[in-house]
Amino acid sequence: MAVLTPIPAPAPVAESAPSAAGPACSLQRYGSLWQLGIEAQELTTAISQLAEQLEVDDADTRAQALAELEAALLAEEGNKAALAAKADATCWVIEHLRGQAAYRQQQAKRLTELSRSDAGRADALEDSLVLVLTRLQPSATRFSFPNHELTSRKSQAVEIDDEEALDSQWLAVTTTSKPDKAAIKEALKAGRQITGAQLVSRRSWRIH
């Protein structure tokens, strides 16, 4: 006969006060979400086993099973409350992290635009500087200043004026391919067997 010892409710652990955007639930520290889930499964199994013992003929066994069942039901009630509080706090953390990710993505976009703007201004300023200096010294390849030095080097690059005017021998042909998932999905849904592909059902979750 399975004997379930009631699990006393854990004492709250003091934590720093949450911010205004924090979860509404109390931040008492319970077991981990995983531990609470395992405990819930164990309690469900124990309650089922104890309920079966209520059907035995022996009165003492039924009485003991009833007492243990009452204790298990109380423990299950506490476990459910702790699990709900932990899950609610976890949902808040998930939303907070996603909000932070969205904010940082916006910041990254803004910083990228600022970086592009700064780089463009720097290039324009450098072009103006080189233009002035090379007009004064057309043959110079190096300019030295108190704290900086401006140097140049020669390089060659091909500029294509009209790609369509080029003969085919000067064209590099590249081909790329990727699975047509939309067509494959329709074929699989229609019952076709496609080697290398299968239709997988997934369930998505969303926190509200």
Structural domain total, the chain: 1
In a domain, 179, yes or no: no
Express each pLDDT in 70-123 by its tens digit. 888 888 888 888 888 888 888 888 999 999 999 999 999 999 999 999 999 999
In a domain, 133, yes or no: yes
Domain range for 128 is: 27-151
Express each pLDDT in 153-179 by its tens digit. 989 889 999 988 999 889 898 889 999
In a domain, 48, yes or no: yes
Whole-number pLDDT of residue 12:
41
Whole-number pLDDT of residue 141:
92
**pLDDT band, residue 28 (cuts 50/70/90):** very low
In a domain, 164, yes or no: no
168: DSSP letter: G
In a domain, 36, yes or no: yes
In a domain, 199, yes or no: no
In a domain, 145, yes or no: yes
In a domain, 77, yes or no: yes
Q: Give dist(CA 158, CA 154) in Å, integer.
A: 14
Q: Give dist(CA 160, CA 164) in Å, integer.
A: 10
Q: Give dist(CA 143, CA 84) in Å, integer.
A: 71
